[in-house]
Structure 1
Amino acid sequence: MNKTGRYIAYYRVSTARQGRSGLGLEGQRSAVLGFLNGGSWTLIEEFTEVESGTRSDRTQLAAALAACRLHKATLVIAKLDRLARNVAFVSALMEAGVDFIAVDFPQANRLTIHILAAVAEHEAKAISDRTKSALAAAKARGTVLGGFRGRAGTPGDLERARASRTASADQYAADLAGTIATLQAGGITSLWGIAKALNAKRITTPRGSGWSASQVQRVLKRLSYNQGA
């Protein structure tokens, strides 16, 4: 079946020596390109993680997932087996909300990741069951449950909604930070210039529209505020 759409590639080598020599890396890249070959696809970026298998702070994985969200792209990896055994990778992929495909296991999907994380989910279910029991007891006592159905939001409800919106905006700004920094380093420093470059890269605003200078300014202010916090 021909592959279509946008892709972000993520490769992993275990040691700095492998990273310098290309050992393992070229094989992964060849597998990815061979898998995509024959379709109408765009490989937007490639990220390579050079790390020990015991490390969990995968900066390049975070960058790859951010790029997937910005470009509405699919993450493609060469081998799922090694990565799937890493809890940090599984957790990051589940929380990122991006689609992925593994060359060595193309049938795998986000459902597979859920299965791989079955033990953690079992524990979460136990917590959920206890929470449901507590809510059922509260409802039996006459406590009103649910969201804003049939009532105005309380100050606490509204504050949580604002916090959720703020967190979402902060995440999107953080995803954009690297791209904007690269543009600025390349001499594109004006608000309109950055907006034009983001539009050229087909990166949309959180709402899916094109960028304007004022929208870029808001993102820069948010990044400046968060970095100074």
Structure 2
Amino acid sequence: MQFIAYYRVSTQRQGISGLGLEAQQDIVEDYIRRQEGKLLHIYTEIESGKRDDRPQLLKALQHCQLTNSTLVVSKLDRLSRDLHFLSTVMKSGIPFICCDQPNSGTLVLQVLAAVAEEERRMISERTRLALAAAKKRGVKLGNPRLHEIRNSCMKNARGTWQKNNDEFNQAIRPVIESLQQQGFDTYTALASELNRLGFKTRYGRQFYSATVRNILLGQDK
């Protein structure tokens, strides 16, 4: 089996120090070794598990898709604490393994993710109550630079979207060009063959002739 490893640490400090990262690596490498598998690549994310817009995870899933590999993580909470997001990964059709639950089926993983999501909700609720109590005591909440920060975040998000879009196109374009060399000489034929082979667009959808044309012409927006 071929594997793509995904590691996640919650803070920049953990990413630099390796705190928490080495343990994940040991668990994953031991699992792959016992399976006599091959580790093709590693993706490491420095991000909160609460958020779903994680570019390194997107790259890992795309890599799995393009190489017919299995995504492997050390623990379920390294993938996500959000049930909806975990379900989306499951529905993508990309196989994945959680080393702490290697023999669990989809139903068990969904139950475990639901429990993790409930824990996150309870933490958020306690935080909300604490903020409400602080406000009642007269503590000023909020950031006067909120509008400026929001605009900056939106600008960064647009830049990240375009970068991810370009990277996906660069990854899938050689596949399309290879199909062209095999005789698939129209956009419609290329789209049909990509769908038959199980490839998905960056958004997890099927390919259409216009999708293929835009990728090849560098116009995919």
Shift of 1:97: 1.4
Change in 2 beyond 3 A, CA 1:106/1:228: closer
Query: Pairwise mapping of residues 124-203 of structure 1 onto structure 2 (< 5 A)?
Result: 176-179=168-171
Query: What SS class does the counterpart of residue 55 from structure 1 fall into?
Result: coil
* Alignment counterpart, residue 87 of structure 1, candidates 83, 89, 95: 83
Alpha-carbon distance between aligned partners in 1 of 2:169 and 2:73, rounded to the nearest angstrom: 24
Q: CA deviation at 1:55?
A: 2.1
Q: CA deviation at 1:50?
A: 0.7
Give the secondary structure class of the aligned counterpart of 2:108.
helix
**Aligned residues: percent identity?**
40
The aligned amino acid for 1:29 is Q
Classify 1:219/1:84 alpha carbon distance in 2 versus 1 (closer, same or farther; 3 Å).
closer
**Aligned pairs, number:** 151
RMSD, aligned α-carbons: 3.9
Once residues 76 and 55 of structure 2 are traced to their aligned partners in structure 1, the CA distance between those partners, rounded to angstroms, is 19
Deviation at residue 180 of structure 1 after TM alignment: 5.7
Query: What are structure 2's unaligned runs of at least 5 residues?
Result: 116-164, 182-192, 199-209
Change (3 A) 1:98 1:75: same
Segments of 5+ residues of structure 1 without an aligned counterpart are 120-172, 184-190, 196-203, 210-217
CA drift at 1:17: 1.4
Aligned to 1:166: none
Q: 1-side partners of 2:107 and 2:219: how far apart?
A: 35
- When normalised by structure 1's length, the TM-score is 0.52
Corresponding residue of 1:221: 213
Distance 1:23 1:178, change over 3 A: farther
- Residue equivalent to 1:22: 18
1:179-229 Cα distance to aligned partner (Å, 9 max, x none): 368x8xxxxxxx57x98xxxxxxxx955449xxxxxxxx976332668454
1:60 aligned partner, one-letter code:
Q
**Which amino acid is 2:90 matched to?**
M
Q: CA deviation at 1:101?
A: 1.0
Moved over 3 A (4+): 81-84, 113-119, 173-176, 204-209, 218-221, 224-229
Equivalence map 1:2-17=2 (5 Å): 5-17=1-13
Give, as a single letter, the amino acid of the residue that structure 1 aligns with 2:169.
Answer: A
Which AA in structure 2 matches 1:221? R
Which of 7, 18, 34 lines up with 2:30 in the alignment?
34
TM-score if structure 2 supplies the norm length? 0.53
User: What code does the residue aligned with 1:66 have?
Assistant: Q
Deviation for aligned residue 1:7: 0.9
